[in-house]
Amino acid sequence: MSETFLYFAYGSNLDPDRLHINCPSAKLVSAGNLLGYRLDFTKTSEKRWRGGVADIVQDSEANVWGGIWLISESESDALDRQEGVHLSPQGYHRLEVKIRGSNGRQYTCRTYEVSSREGFGLLPSPAYKSTLVRGSRYCDLPSDYQIYIGKLPDNGNSGGDPNLSP
C-alpha cells in the first residue's frame, strides 16, 4: 500500500488553509485539468457554508481546473469525513480521475463527486466563493479560469464556518 495518494481539489480544498485543517501533510504538486466535466454547484451546505458547494458534472464539452495535491495515506479517512463520505445520505463519494497537469504530466487522482444532487446552478455563499478564489490563485490556475471563478454569482448569505465538520 502506498504511503501517499494524489488528490484533485476543485472546490474549497483548492485553498491550502482549508485543506490543511484535515490534511496537514498536503503539498501542491501542480495545477491540473479534468476533461469531460464542468464545475457546478449541486448541493447546499447550510451549516458550514450557507450555500451551494462545488461538484463536478460530466459534460463532454467542458473541463475543470483544480489543484493536484500529494497527501499522506494516514489522512485519507479525515478527508473522507470532510467530504461526508460517511453520512447518510452520503455527501460525496470517491472517484478516480485522470488529470492533465499544467506541467504536461498525466496523473491518476482521487477526487470527490456529489452523491445526491439537489439541483444545478445553486449559488455559493460569498465566503465559499472567496475560498475558491483564494485557492485558484494559490494553485496558480490559468488566469481565465481564475476570472471565471471570480465572476461566479453568489447568494449574498453571510456567516458560515469552513472549520465545521459536515
Rounded to the nearest 10 degrees, the angle between the axes of helix 143-150 and helix 126-138 is 170
Per annotation, catalytic residue among 46, 73, 83, 96: 83
Read off the pLDDT band of 88 (50, 70, 90): low
Give the pairing type, strands 106-114 and 51-72: unpaired
Read off the pLDDT band of 125 (50, 70, 90): very high
Active site residue 83: yes
Interval 121-141 mean pLDDT: 96
User: Exposed/middle/buried for 58, CB within 10 Å: 0-12, 13-18, 19+?
Assistant: exposed
At 29-46, the pLDDT tens digits run: 999 999 999 999 999 988
Read off the pLDDT band of 85 (50, 70, 90): confident
pTM flag (> 0.75)? yes
Match domain 4-150 to its CATH number in 3.10.490.10, 3.40.190.10, 3.40.109.10, 3.40.30.10: 3.10.490.10
**Do residues 69 and 29 touch, judged by C-beta distance below 8 A?**
yes
Q: For residue 162, what pLDDT is reported? A: 60
Read off the pLDDT band of 166 (50, 70, 90): very low
Rounded to whole angstroms, the Cα distance separating 102 from 97 reads 16
